[in-house]
Structure 1
């Protein structure tokens, strides 16, 4: 059985997104989990977009019976993500709406020198 938790410390750069997606597809017991891959991609992309390339992050996935928790921690406790409605002509602004649509729940936890954006998905 694969480890129920996996954690990566990395720099948030565009090439890390597809590399992490590939690694995670090997971790999930049933192969690629598209919603997990989508959430990791969106959360990591948000760090790149809002805090800048090269920001150090920790990505943690935890499997529990019937659930997978995805958590991305970055070093800026002030830059909180906001769920917004993107217009049909907007080129950005849909990431958290996608995360909200596919996850069971999501949120933000603030630490003294960091924040963690997390979501929980069904195991399926």
Structure 2
């Protein structure tokens, strides 16, 4: 079992990435926000912390609400010099994210709409064999300010 106090290290090769597995429960959103703060702080990208923390909170909330998974994997990476990627991996590949149509009085259903409005881009990737994926990663990318 993964300790919630385990230090997360950047990948030694390739683009830097921080990732760790946690329980699929609402309290993981707070842990995710800390992971985002720590990773972006290490990369001197403090200006993206608030937006990325909001995004990880929404992604965790969606995983908790829409999947029966016992654990999820949180990922914060730099796929390129101009982008930061925040993602959540769960084991429910059959439940794909879609933009909601929340009504004015609805108390939920706006998470992806919010993400769509603040992110540079977002999407999902299935994990595992093409014919029988075991999970999916819902990811969001933010452009690093000052870069084209």
Question: Where does residue 121 of structure 1 map in the other structure?
Answer: 142
Once the two structures are superposed, residues 79-118 of structure 1 have per-residue CA deviations (whole angstroms, 9 ceiling, x without a partner) of 1111022111000000000111111111111231111111
Greater strand proportion:
1
Q: Which one has a bigger Cα radius of gyration?
A: 2
3-state DSSP of counterpart to 2:85: strand
Unmatched tracts of structure 1, length 5 or more = none
Q: Which residue of 1 aligns with 2:29?
A: 17
Task: Give the drift of 1:14.
Answer: 1.4
TM-score (normalised: structure 2): 0.75
Greater relative contact order (Cα < 8 A, sep 6+): 1
Paired positions, count: 122
Q: What SS does the corresponding residue of 2:55 show, helix, strand or coil?
A: helix
RMSD: 1.8
- 2:34 and 2:88 map into 1 onto residues whose CA distance is 17
Q: When the two structures are superposed, what TM-score results if normalisation uses the length of structure 1?
A: 0.88
The answer to whether the Cα contact below 8 Å between 1:43 and 1:72 also exists between their aligned partners in 2 is: yes
Unaligned 5+ residue runs, structure 2? 1-8, 11-15, 128-132
